[in-house]
């Protein structure tokens, strides 16, 4: 039995709601860890390593410098940089000095960056790239991340003072949404919001001091920020990478955990399949037969066992070794993980724990557990957390991790948070009898056809991406009779004799009734794009989500021609 959409029934891991959930601060997790694990390696970038003590000295030097410059408790400090050890030092220095961090990426459009800085009231900015320095208003002081204040020796008493300085209700981060639609909103995250994740998430996953993480996501994204803080609080080491070096860094550091957004896991899967295809038709065909048998074996069909065992011997272990070979679990957050990607890695022997949440929830409200890793779901509620399905079919959340509200926007805050503290996520879904959440789409992304049919594009796009001819796809058709698609074909498809026909046939095979969808969810019309969606051209967010409204605007004439 499942709870019907429209029946608001709160569920959490314990089966009841704790009346007085424990509240804490980020400071009380991170600053004692800097002392407790002083000799351990905390961060690695290329050939340089920072111990926990090195980081403590760097943070103390930054905090002292900020106070000398007149930073007062509650003052906003912008952090404009990409993932690097110095970014985390600056972030912790801001918290130690009592400031509020305002993180933002270096690739933020100039107009948007200026708006965020002015709207937040930032008095100071740590700047990663000299390219963005001219974009910062003259009244905001700048400190380059490549030229931070000198580290300073710090005592245990001083670290203890930093740990106890903040209160749970103090604002810790003013984090602006990535702006997939409209102007970004300033999400006010209190110390207790982030601290709830630091207390509950590591208790659910077998993280141990000394475990190695490889980091590739932008640090100003709440998912990556929380991952790094969780790792630090336990005594783990984080190795910093980027998309050009990720294969090398995974092989070199052999992480115990790796956190990525869905698009990254999809890219790993595509890369593995491409590598196998390049070994020739015989081995490629053998892999597909083994993989099909492994799918049978996962359904407890004994006929799949022989070729499943052969697949492990010849292929699967090599794929697992490409991610370091000693991964305890992969972590996925920041979006919807397509079921075929989930299944692929499970067959390869790489179990992925999916977490669910939003910037407004700091971010995790639900996650799959090692002992209850139910594929096709986005997990079950964290302790102290209530999740229900509201009248519109969207998940609603109440718990210690839910934001204070949107900065300087009472009207928008009132729309998102009701008087009883329930936050509406805007994500459509259902809750099983066991308390597992099943994501079905996003209310704001729902396509309504002219016949009144509601279509959730993401599951259809995920199905289309299983075909090797399709590299990227966005389903369109709002207020039109039928669906269509903007498609970036794969290199192999684009080099073929008739790419458009190949992609059209691929869509017909992976959408509509042929793929288990409804008949009106069939996609027969397609426009091929020469330029991929990317962060650089503004069509993807830094966490690799499609900016649907931007894509729709850029290709408005093509969409009109498709959907006549």
Domain boundary among 196, 225, 256: 256
* pLDDT computed for residue 2 by the predictor: 36
Query: How far is Cα of residue 115 from the mean position of the Cα atoms in its chain?
Result: 24
* pLDDT computed for residue 154 by the predictor: 97
Domain boundary among 217, 241, 256: 256
Note whether residue 337 is domain-resident: no
- Cβ atoms within 10 Å, residue 454: 13
Note whether residue 40 is domain-resident: yes
Distances (CA, A) of 10 to 66, 196, 426, 438: 44, 19, 17, 15
Please list the helix, strand and coil fractions of the chain in percent, rounded to the nearest 5, in that order. 40, 20, 40
* pLDDT computed for residue 518 by the predictor: 83
Note whether residue 428 is domain-resident: no
Q: How many separate domains does the chain show?
A: 2
Domain boundary among 256, 289, 314: 256
Kindly give the pairing relationship between strand 237-240 and strand 437-442. unpaired
Note whether residue 371 is domain-resident: no
* pLDDT computed for residue 21 by the predictor: 60
Distances (CA, A) of 321 to 218, 243, 287: 25, 18, 17
The model carries a pTM of 0.84
* pLDDT computed for residue 15 by the predictor: 36
Note whether residue 461 is domain-resident: yes
What letter would DSSP give residue 35? Answer: H
What's the CA gap between 242 and 217, in Å, rounded? 8
* pLDDT computed for residue 184 by the predictor: 84
* pLDDT computed for residue 524 by the predictor: 86
- Per-residue confidence in pLDDT tens, the chain, 564 aa: 233 333 444 444 333 344 456 679 999 999 999 999 999 999 999 999 999 999 999 999 999 999 999 999 999 999 999 899 999 999 999 999 999 999 998 878 788 899 999 999 999 999 998 889 899 998 899 999 999 999 999 999 999 999 999 999 999 999 998 644 457 899 999 999 999 999 999 999 999 999 999 999 988 889 999 999 999 999 999 999 998 999 999 999 999 999 998 889 988 998 999 999 999 999 999 999 999 999 999 999 999 999 999 999 999 999 999 999 999 999 999 888 888 899 999 999 999 999 999 999 999 999 999 999 999 999 999 999 999 999 989 999 999 999 999 999 999 999 999 999 999 998 989 999 999 999 988 888 888 787 777 788 988 999 999 999 999 999 999 878 889 999 999 999 999 999 999 999 999 999 998 898 888 899 989 999 999 999 889 899 877 889 898 898 899 999 988 876
Note whether residue 138 is domain-resident: yes
- Cβ atoms within 10 Å, residue 242: 12
Note whether residue 194 is domain-resident: no
Note whether residue 202 is domain-resident: no
The 3-class SS string of 313-347 reads HHHHHHHHHCCCCCCCEEEECCCCCCHHHHHHHHH
CATH number of the structural domain spanning residue 535? 3.30.300.30
Dihedral sign, CA of 180, 223, 104, 167?
positive
* Range(s) of the domain holding residue 458: 446-562
């Amino acid at each position: 039995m499942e709870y019907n959409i429209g029946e608001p029934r709160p569920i959490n891991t314990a089966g009841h709601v704790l009346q007085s959930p424990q509240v804490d601060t980020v400071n009380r997790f991170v600053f004692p860890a800097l002392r407790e694990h002083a000799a351990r390696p905390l961060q690695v970038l290329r050939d340089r390593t920072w111990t926990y003590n090195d980081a403590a000295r760097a943070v103390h030097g930054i905090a002292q410098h900020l106070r000398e410059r007149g930073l007062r408790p509650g003052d906003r400090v912008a952090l404009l940089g990409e993932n690097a050890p110095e970014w985390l030092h600056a972030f912790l220095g801001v918290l130690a000095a009592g400031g509020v961090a305002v993180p933002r990426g270096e690739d933020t459009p100039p107009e948007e960056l200026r708006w965020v800085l002015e709207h937040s009231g930032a008095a100071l900015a740590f700047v990663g790239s000299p390219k963005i320095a001219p974009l910062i208003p003259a009244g905001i002081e700048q400190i380059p991340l490549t030229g931070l204040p000198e580290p300073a020796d710090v005592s245990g008493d001083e670290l203890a003072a930093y740990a106890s300085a903040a209160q749970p209700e103090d604002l810790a981060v003013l984090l602006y949404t990535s702006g997939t639609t409209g102007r970004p909103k300033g999400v006010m995250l209190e110390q207790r919001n982030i601290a709830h994740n630091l207390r509950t998430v590591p208790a659910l996953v077998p993280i141990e001091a000394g475990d190695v993480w490889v980091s590739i996501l932008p640090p100003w994204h709440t998912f990556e920020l929380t991952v790094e803080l969780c790792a630090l609080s336990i005594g783990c080491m984080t190795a910093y990478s980027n998309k050009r070096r990720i294969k090398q860094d995974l092989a070199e550091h052999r992480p115990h955990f790796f956190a990525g957004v869905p698009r990254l896991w999809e890219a790993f899967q595509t890369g593995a399949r491409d590598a196998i295809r390049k070994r020739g038709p015989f081995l490629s065909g053998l892999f597909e037969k083994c993989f099909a048998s492994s799918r049978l074996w996962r359904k407890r069909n004994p006929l799949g066992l022989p070729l499943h065992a052969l697949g492990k011997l010849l292929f699967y272990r090599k794929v697992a070794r490409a991610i370091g070979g000693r991964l305890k679990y992969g972590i996925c957050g920041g979006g919807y993980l397509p079921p075929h990607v989930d299944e692929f890695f499970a067959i390869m022997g790489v179990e992925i724990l999916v977490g669910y949440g939003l910037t407004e929830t700091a971010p995790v409200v639900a996650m799959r557990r090692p002992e209850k890793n139910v594929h096709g779901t986005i997990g079950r509620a964290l302790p102290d957390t209530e999740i229900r399905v509201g009248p519109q079919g969207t998940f609603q959340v109440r718990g210690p991790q839910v934001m204070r509200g949107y900065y300087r926007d009472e009207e928008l805050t009132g729309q998102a948070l009701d008087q009883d503290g329930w936050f509406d996520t805007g994500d459509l879904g259902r809750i099983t009898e066991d308390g597992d959440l099943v994501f079905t789409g996003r209310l704001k992304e729902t396509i309504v056809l002219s016949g009144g049919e509601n279509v959730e594009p993401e599951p259809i796009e995920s199905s289309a991406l299983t075909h090797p001819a399709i590299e990227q796809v966005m389903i369109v058709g709002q207020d039109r009779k039928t669906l269509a698609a903007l498609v970036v074909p794969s290199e192999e498809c684009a080099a073929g004799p008739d790419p458009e026909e190949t992609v059209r046939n691929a869509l017909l095979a992976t959408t509509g009734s042929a793929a288990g969808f409804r008949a009106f969810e069939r996609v027969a019309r397609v426009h091929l794009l020469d330029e991929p969606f990317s962060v650089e051209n503004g069509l993807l967010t830094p966490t690799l989500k499609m900016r649907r409204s931007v894509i729709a605007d850029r290709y408005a004439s093509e969409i009109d021609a498709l959907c006549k």
